[in-house]
Structure 1
Amino acid sequence: MSGLGDILVDEDCFDTLVLGIGNLLWADEGFGVRVVEEIHRTHTLPPEVLLMDGGTQGLYLEPYVRRARNLLVFDAIDWGDEPGTLRVVRGEEVPAFMGCRKMSLHQTGFQDVLAAASLMGGGPEDIVLIGVQAVELEDWGGSLRPLIRDRMAPAIDLGLKELARWGRAAERRAVPLDVATGLVGNGFDIESYEAGGASVGAKG
């Protein structure tokens, strides 16, 4: 999986952070990372936008969140909805939603990131969370369930609308990148991961 050490940041350039968080090794928990992976593969973004695989980095993300004026987060969260339900959560509701039915430590960790950024005198003026209700979370080494993978495209569409609202519109690539050379490397891109035996299961 890619990490913060793989990312070169021009601190004078970006004002908008697009962040996918979650753990690729726990089935649908990897939704947020897979979404930003696909955005990177299919779209180009303005130089003011930083696209990150945040994984489960926790407080290591704080400097990036503090720097961002606009923050768009993709994640899988348990709201008790029907599996596959997408929600768009905004502003002050985001930390509460990320902690209401915690699925893993990364969500509590991200609440801490937002709090730390605020304490340091920064943090986003506008924050949007686009999340999906997971199908399967207890499959170590598994991949996204088919239903959740099908929700990636509509989640991306919702996210691109938010970027456009911020004046940071993305453009579709004429030729998508090869997934193996994309944002998530080291054999953890979705095709290599599943070809290596990751379970996609029969649920959903």
Structure 2
Amino acid sequence: MKNKGITLIALTVTVIVLLIISGVTISYLTGENGIINQAKDSKKFAGAVEEKEVLNTSVAAAIGKSSNSKIDEVNLKKYLNQNVGDEVKDYTLEKKDGYYSVTFTATGNEYAVWENGTVQDMEEYQKTPYLKLDPSELNALEKGSSQVIKAITNVNNSNIKWETSNSNVVTIQKKSNTEITVTGKNNGSAVITAKMDKLETKCQ
């Protein structure tokens, strides 16, 4: 009986130890910092490196084909199609306010590509305050003709201040905090400036 008791106790202890080890192993594999998630993160990081290389190469080529050193959708898509390889494969391209959104299907990574050639991943894009104008160039306005300029920013409840460098050439009428109408007054040149906190951008 004593031997049997020891055997049962030993068996119970063994089962408990195995359950503990099993639990630790599963946690080590599937936990937030487990091997499986680390492998996924590593693969996604490697994919992001290649994706950014593809984007930067494509953007440089697209700007090279532009007459005003700005990216257009046709050339961006053309060179993306040329540069994507087997590892990157499918992607989607969508025009947004002031930038192009490029999402790679395999990783789900999304990037913002600005018309000046800047490439940002969406996390960086969302964290970094920005202020841009659409359009970024002021038309040659005849007397009485108008152009609408829109400010694009990721800062909520932003307070944007608008200025013209020459009120004798163009006047500004504020439609909303982020939008103005510029009207031609006389011949000459002028620069429209939008300011928000420490950010400043111009349309000229």
TM-score w.r.t. length of structure 1: 0.25
TM-score w.r.t. length of structure 2: 0.25
Higher relative contact order (CA 8 A, sep 6+): 1
Structure (1 or 2) with the larger CA radius of gyration: 2
